[in-house]
Amino acid sequence: MEVTSLQNGIIIDHVPAGTALKVLEYLKVDPSRTKIALIMNADSKRYGTKDIIKIEGMADDRIDLDVLGLVARNATVGIVRDGSIVKKLTPTLPQHVSGVIRCPNPRCVTSTERDVRQGFHLVTLNGHQEYRCDYCDEEAKF
Ligand SMILES: [Zn+2]
């Protein structure tokens, strides 16, 4: 498998189009200190358009698959060594997450009270999976 330009690092493919920067932010990757190549709005056979993120030199254990599951659940992660993909990882969908995303509901107790920890749980509705706030049941937005 050929991977242009990346020697050792990580390729995150099938990121929803236009969300690559947000995904980097959630993964706590600092674009000013990391060698990153972004391809935005590339053609995708599966989803129309997609973003691709290439991160040079990033160790595979630094990628948080739970966080990736939240923001880009259809993404695929390729681990690149010496210019080729040696391993593929897929995001996980955790049953529960806390401290990663904020509740979008301004009246939620986690928005009005400082000491309440944000928490979201996974809900499956008609085969569609989404995260809802532990306190007010508002759907998570990214
Ligand atoms: Zn809430």
| pLDDT tens digits, one per residue of 36-88 | 999 999 998 877 899 999 999 988 778 899 999 988 999 999 999 999 999 99
Contacts for 81 with CB less than 8 Å, ≥ 6 apart:
8
For the chain, the structural domain boundaries read 9-89, 96-133
Cα 68 to averaged position of ligand 1 atoms, centre (Å): 21
**Whole-prediction pTM value?**
0.84
Cα 113 to averaged position of ligand 1 atoms, centre (Å): 11
Cα 102 to averaged position of ligand 1 atoms, centre (Å): 8
CATH of 9-89, one of 3.30.70.140, 2.40.50.100, 3.90.180.10, 3.40.50.970: 3.30.70.140
How far, in Å, CA of 23 to CA of 6, rounded? 19
Nearest residue to 68 via CA among 25, 8, 122, 7: 25
For ligand 1, a single-atom ion, which residues have Cβ within 5 Å?
A: 103, 105, 108, 133, 135-136, 138
Cα 43 to averaged position of ligand 1 atoms, centre (Å): 36
